[in-house]
Amino acid sequence: MLAQVRRYPADAALIMAPYLTDRARELIRQSGSGYADATGNLRLALRRPAAFITSSGESSDPWRTARRLRSLKGAVAGRGIRALCDFRPPYGVRELAARANMIPGTLSRLLVFLEEEALIRRDGRGRVDEVDWPALIRRWTADYSFSESNETQGFLEPRGLVELERKLVASSLRYAVSGSLATRSTSPVAPPRLGVVYVEAIPSAAAELKLTPTDSGTNVILAEPFDSVVFERQRSDQGGLKYAALPQVAADLMTGPGRSPNEAEALIRWMQDNEGAWRA
């Protein structure tokens, strides 16, 4: 629709539909056009006569028919999104499914949803040829939350985060560091005060790392992940510390407390400038 609108010289354009999603309305706003849907979502900006009218309607489609996928919650969506972010297109459904360790039919349903949201683009053969990965991460975090999607528990490492890192490197654990600790070599905003670590089982990991459970003064959060994809395509520093992939770190920070969302935006800017350093 936006491509059609651009073909015609006009002071203002209005795109109308029974229902327009948040993503559709965002893209229309960015194009400078207006929109209206039957639920009351409206934006009309005119220069002559000068007028600006906006209103909010429904945030979900009240006439939704049976759809292949309704949200980006859960392990299946997370695994597919991680693959789309981690790997540069082009690729077909079966090729990406093999990389993501997913059933092709399941991934295909996810791609239909993401294409409708204008987060990916596919060619005439159905191959993904473009992924708007910054927008995809932001859209994922509308349904994914670090604290709600993962099982977490707070601990105290009395000797600080340097000691936590030493213990992790020396441990036999399968782990992945996320949060602020994972951005120090890319886009540090401030010295990290909280260590976020994915582990397979919190009780055994806490015992091996000799962490003290606490409700106050927490400086370590252990998390049992929503899916084992958090351990895949890890990075390691020169000291052997293992980090989660940057798209996972960005999503975790974006839904974290305090300054975490600012750290997420700084990380995404670094990722945009250095895509070849992290995207396979």
Report the alpha-carbon distance of residue 82 to residue 209 in Å, rounded.
Answer: 28
Report the alpha-carbon distance of residue 58 to residue 270 in Å, rounded.
Answer: 35
Q: In one letter, which amino acid is 97? A: A
Query: What pTM was estimated for this model as a whole?
Result: 0.81
Q: In one letter, which amino acid is 74? A: G
Report the alpha-carbon distance of residue 44 to residue 192 in Å, rounded.
Answer: 44
Q: What is the 3-state secondary structure (H, E, C) of 147-183?
A: HHHCEEEEEECCCCHHHHHHHHHHCCCCEEEEHHHHH
| Predicted local confidence at residue 11, as pLDDT | 67
Position with higher pLDDT, 18 vs 10: 18
Closest CA to 225 of 201, 260, 191: 201
Q: What mean pLDDT value characterizes the chain?
A: 93
pLDDT tens readout for residues 55-71:
999 988 887 765 556 78
182, 186, 190, 194 alpha-carbon torsion, rounded to 10°: 0
Closest CA to 15 of 28, 3, 6, 26: 28
Domains and CATH numbers, the chain: 2-55 (no CATH), 74-140 (1.10.10.10), 146-270 (no CATH)
Average pLDDT over residues 5-25: 85
pLDDT tens readout for residues 202-250:
999 999 999 999 988 899 999 999 999 999 999 999 999 999 999 999 9
| Predicted local confidence at residue 93, as pLDDT | 96
